[in-house]
Amino acid sequence: MEEHTITILLLGDERCGKSTFLSRISQGRHHLQGHATITLLRDIDQPFIFDVRSRTARFRFEFYDTASPESWRLLRPDIILLCYDISQRLSLIHLERLWHPEIRTTFHSDTIPILVLGLKRDLRSEDDPNGIIYPQEAHGVATKLRADRYMECSAVTGELMTLVFDDICSTALKTATPQGGQSEGGCVVM
């Protein structure tokens, strides 16, 4: 059985929810729905490894967070997840003005699939009209950045976690094919 290692890098502001997201998926696919007690993974334990099998191959997903003890700029990721906190507008602004330009200058590649991931969906509040980030607005930013996918979820409540995890896995599996994991045009909404 063929074996592939796929490196997935999560980039985004501190406290935007990356560690909670990784901690939630580390509990296994059958624990992605509903509320769960989350024990945060330690940064020194990176990469966070997830093994996935298909009928013809085995895949080792290695997730790295920007808080990695190693410099993330030294990695050669197969997929980049640009993450932001849905409840913090500044987090989306940084995604567009800081993180996206950083990956373009660091990796010098237009072939790496970029997925935009909105985290902390459970904190979206209609009570704060200045801070609320609707999916349409974030999708517009993802489209402007020429990202391959736009997704959002809540690691705390489990809302959309299964769909997001499946979409990441699907894109990761495609990176092991000759066609690669990039979408054929335009940002796809999950």
In tens digits, the chain (190 residues) has pLDDT values of: 788 999 999 999 999 999 999 988 888 777 788 877 777 777 777 788 888 887 888 999 999 987 654 578 888 999 999 999 999 999 999 999 999 999 989 987 788 999 999 999 999 877 776 667 899 999 999 999 999 999 999 999 999 999 999 999 999 988 877 666 565 555 555 5
Distances (CA, A) of 18 to 40, 81, 113, 156: 10, 10, 18, 12
- CA R_g for the chain: 16
| Domain residue extents for the chain | 2-189
Nearest Cα to Cα of residue 28 among 60, 51, 62, 53: 51
Query: Residue 52 has which token pair?
Result: 């996935």
CATH 3.30.505.10 fits 2-189, yes or no: no
